[in-house]
A and B are shown apart, each in its own frame.
Chain A
């Protein structure tokens, strides 16, 4: 287990703590109807090392989802969304593969494969996760408008926070 892995584990623990202790309490209700939630924990999955096997990513997503759900009191909702995100991660990675390919032992960051690549990659997966989360939370497409508004608001705020955080660090 090299330093990179230890770094990942430490950051992941911090992110989970921030999510469940701080961000969980920031749920802004807009127009008495829409909810804005800040959701950053998917970046643990999104920024796992590129070379990690897809089945490992799915498994990690599953257990991380269960952990988040145990704090959010919503068994399965975050888990299902995060497992889907983890599964899609492989597909998106393949679709966005740079011409020279991925390099081993290189963290996913704006510096690694360029700013545009980074914002694309993060945007797609974060949107998939947040949309799936709100869809599963509503559990019906009857409220599709509400699901979309919730998703958009939460996505924009979460995306900005994550992008800023990754650019600073």
Chain B
């Protein structure tokens, strides 16, 4: 008992101190408008910032999900752009050449070889078939080479085997885009006649002469041009608009063509 009494005597001032401070703070918060506002506000600030942190965490956890959503949305928009008539003189039936857009994620990519490929996480189950065009939001990226159920291998635009028909934007000169196996930041467009009026920085776009890519998709920009050895054509160096070293999300273009068109092309 005497121990308890001495304990009480020893620490009574601390208890008294805490009690007095408590009363003082209750008085402060209840009877001072400014302090009351700050108190109420900061408690809501505290709970608010906690809620914000939680929702940020939730956002982070669902990043993959929202990425997938964005990808779908992008694909839908891309589809709309592609199926829009290119110009006023477009054929009334050009909308029939509609493309479905399949979003995909690049899971493997190479740029160091002369025959570069990349792999995407969509296959025949998703509707991907060989010879479909693959684009990014920047421009065209390659052509599907082979597919299995879940994955597809795509010939990159930086592959010496690829040939894509392209023309200079808003001028009708057309040629073939290929790659010389040198730098992945430079493609070659050949067979442009020397009387063509080319300027540095001109856009090179697909011309829709094949069913792989619809007309008007970006390929690159004119980096430099030179008359080739034969003297009849320009060799145009083209800077691709897609950074092949950092491919991430791509879109596979699935053309819905009239059977007649396909058989016609195959007959050629």
A-to-B contact residues, CB < 8 Å? 53-55, 57-59, 61-62, 65, 69, 74-77, 79-80, 83-84, 86-87, 90, 136, 139-140
Contacts and interface: CB of A to CB of B under 8 A. Distances in A.
A136 B34 CA distance: 11
Interface in B10-59: 12-14, 16-17, 20-21, 23-32, 34-35, 38-39, 42
Interface in B139-198: none
A53 B34 contact: no
Contacts of B28: 74-77, 80, 136, 139
A74 B16 CA distance: 22
Given A58-B17, A80-B24, A83-B24, A75 B39 contact: no
A76 B20 contact: no
Contacts of B21: 80, 83-84
Contacts, number: 67
B26 A76 contact: yes
Given A76-B26, A76-B28, A83 B20 contact: yes
B16 A76 contact: no
B27 A53 contact: no
Contact of A75 (B14, B32, B34, B38): B32
A84 B34 CA distance: 21
B35 A139 contact: yes
B27 A79 contact: yes
A56 B24 CA distance: 17
A103 B254 CA distance: 99
Interface of B: 12-14, 16-17, 20-21, 23-32, 34-35, 38-39, 42
Given A136-B28, A136-B35, A139-B38, A62 B13 contact: no
A79 B38 CA distance: 19
Given A59-B20, A84-B21, 7 more contacts: A53-B13, A75-B30, A75-B32, A76-B29, A86-B17, A139-B39, A140-B38
Contacts of B35: 77, 136, 139
Contacts of A136: 28, 35
Given A79-B24, A84-B21, A58 B32 contact: no
B17 A77 contact: no
Given A77-B28, A77-B32, A139-B34, A83 B39 contact: no
